[in-house]
């Protein structure tokens, strides 16, 4: 059978594409038609894209080659919360970064003289404590800045000059000023006229002795020159560290101001005025203590001495 050349040419091109037994010599002598040229172009494009010819999907891997969800690992491959290393609150395991998990505190138990507050997030809850700052009687606490005048839980140290309530110390100073006013002008005591004499200077050790005795009288609810431990004023002055010579002691009760208490002494007929106006003493310590519920409420002591 005679095959027209143009058809043979078309057939030879087909042979090149799909048959393995073609003679390469035939390819050299057979002219190519436009259709053949177009066929090779299509083959080249298929080769470049990887999608032409048999096995296209298998060649590029299709969904299976790319691994699909399984190949990428999906949620399992990325590890979720477990793989990220972050603690998982609520799993009952205390992990790094958590204080608790499943057994976190829901309230703070009370603690003496502190205010406790629950703070933090769900798995980081904790109780924070801060000291009580309010002056309130009956809670067993004496916060900084409180004293027996506004908090009965406070106990004073009569040997610590700086701890004494400021208003009490102010009344002591007022009593000193009143004494020195009389000493500067002279005064007629029950025992007779007294000439003006130099002013008293407040002495710290005598002040401690006076404060401690006033405190002792109030706390033990008595009124006497003899202390609850049997001590005399000279004993108390020396125990406080006074290095001079103790001379006299005045005590008073019932008045809440220094001026009024000095007035009691100046009007006394038993030597109190003489002590205030004495010319053989130049130092004094004055102590005021107040305690409600006692017989006199207000207690005063003045200890006089010569020298430091």
Average pLDDT value for residue range 79-104: 73
Average pLDDT value for residue range 251-255: 98
149-197 per-position pLDDT tens digit:
788 888 889 999 998 999 999 999 999 999 999 999 999 999 999 999 9
Residue 84 is predicted with a pLDDT of 55
Measured in degrees and rounded to the nearest 5, phi and psi for residue 117 equal -130, 135
Consecutive H or E run containing 202: strand 201-202
pLDDT above 70 coverage of the chain, percent: 72
User: What CA–CA distances, in Å, run from 46 to 13, 57, 195, 301?
Assistant: 17, 12, 134, 118
CA 90 vs. chain centroid, Å, equals 29
Q: Look at the pTM and tell me if it is higher than 0.85.
A: no
Residue 154 is predicted with a pLDDT of 85
Place of tokens 């100046």: 266
- pLDDT class for 294, splitting at 50, 70, 90? very high
Average pLDDT value for residue range 34-45: 41
Average pLDDT value for residue range 194-209: 99
Mean pLDDT score of the chain: 79
Structural domains of the chain ordered from first start: 162-306 (3.40.33.10)
- Cβ atoms 267, 180 nearer than 8 A: no
Average pLDDT value for residue range 237-250: 98
- Cβ atoms 230, 303 nearer than 8 A: no
Residue 218 is predicted with a pLDDT of 96
Residue 25 is predicted with a pLDDT of 39
pLDDT above 90 coverage of the chain, percent: 48
CA proximity to 260, closest of 184, 194, 171, 165: 171
Residue 41 is predicted with a pLDDT of 38
Sheet arrangement for strand 283-290: 201-202, 283-290, 298-306, 245-253
- Cβ atoms 9, 30 nearer than 8 A: yes
- Cβ atoms 209, 239 nearer than 8 A: yes
Residue 118 is predicted with a pLDDT of 86
102-149 per-position pLDDT tens digit:
788 888 888 878 888 888 888 888 888 888 888 988 888 888 888 887
Specify the higher pLDDT residue, 289 or 64. Answer: 289
Lowest mean pLDDT among 69-73, 215-219, 229-233: 69-73
Specify the higher pLDDT residue, 184 or 27. Answer: 184
- pLDDT class for 209, splitting at 50, 70, 90? very high
Q: Is the pLDDT of residue 88 over 70?
A: yes
The pair of three-digit structure tokens given for residue 143, joined into one six-digit string: 């916060």
Query: Could you tell me where the DSSP H helices lie in 19-124?
Result: 24-29, 34-49, 56-60, 62-66, 68-72, 74-78, 80-84
- Cβ atoms 45, 59 nearer than 8 A: no
How many CB atoms are closer than 10 A to CB 22?
16
Tell me how far apart the alpha carbons of residues 174 and 212 are, in angstroms, rounded to a whole number. 19
């Amino acid at each position: 059978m005679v095959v027209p050349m143009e058809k043979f040419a078309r057939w030879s091109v087909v042979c090149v594409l799909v048959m393995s037994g073609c003679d390469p010599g035939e390819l050299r002598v057979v002219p190519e038609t436009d259709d053949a040229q177009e066929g090779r172009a299509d083959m080249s494009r298929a080769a470049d894209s990887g999608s032409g010819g048999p096995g296209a999907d298998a060649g590029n891997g299709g969904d299976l080659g790319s691994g699909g969800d399984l190949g990428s690992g999906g949620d399992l491959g990325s590890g979720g919360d477990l793989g990220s290393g972050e603690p998982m609150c609520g799993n009952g395991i205390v992990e790094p970064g958590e204080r608790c998990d499943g057994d976190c505190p829901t309230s703070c138990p009370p603690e003496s003289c502190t205010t406790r507050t629950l703070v933090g997030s769900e798995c980081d809850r904790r109780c924070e404590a801060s000291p009580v700052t309010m002056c309130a009687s009956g809670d067993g606490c004496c916060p900084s800045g409180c004293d027996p005048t506004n908090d009965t839980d406070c106990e004073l140290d009569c040997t610590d000059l700086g701890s004494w309530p400021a208003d009490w110390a102010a009344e002591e100073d007022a009593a000193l000023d009143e004494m020195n006013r009389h000493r500067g002008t002279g005064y007629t005591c029950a025992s007779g006229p007294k000439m003006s004499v130099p002013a008293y200077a407040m002495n710290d050790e005598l002040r401690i002795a006076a404060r401690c005795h006033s405190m002792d009288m109030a706390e033990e609810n008595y009124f006497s020159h003899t202390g609850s431990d049997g001590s005399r004023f000279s004993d108390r002055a020396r125990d406080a560290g006074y290095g001079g010579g103790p001379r006299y002691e005045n005590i008073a009760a019932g008045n809440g101001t220094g001026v009024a208490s000095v007035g009691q002494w100046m009007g006394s007929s038993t030597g109190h005025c003489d002590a205030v106006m004495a010319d053989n003493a130049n130092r004094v310590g004055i102590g005021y203590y107040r305690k409600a519920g006692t017989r006199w409420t207000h207690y005063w002591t003045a200890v006089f001495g010569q020298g430091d």
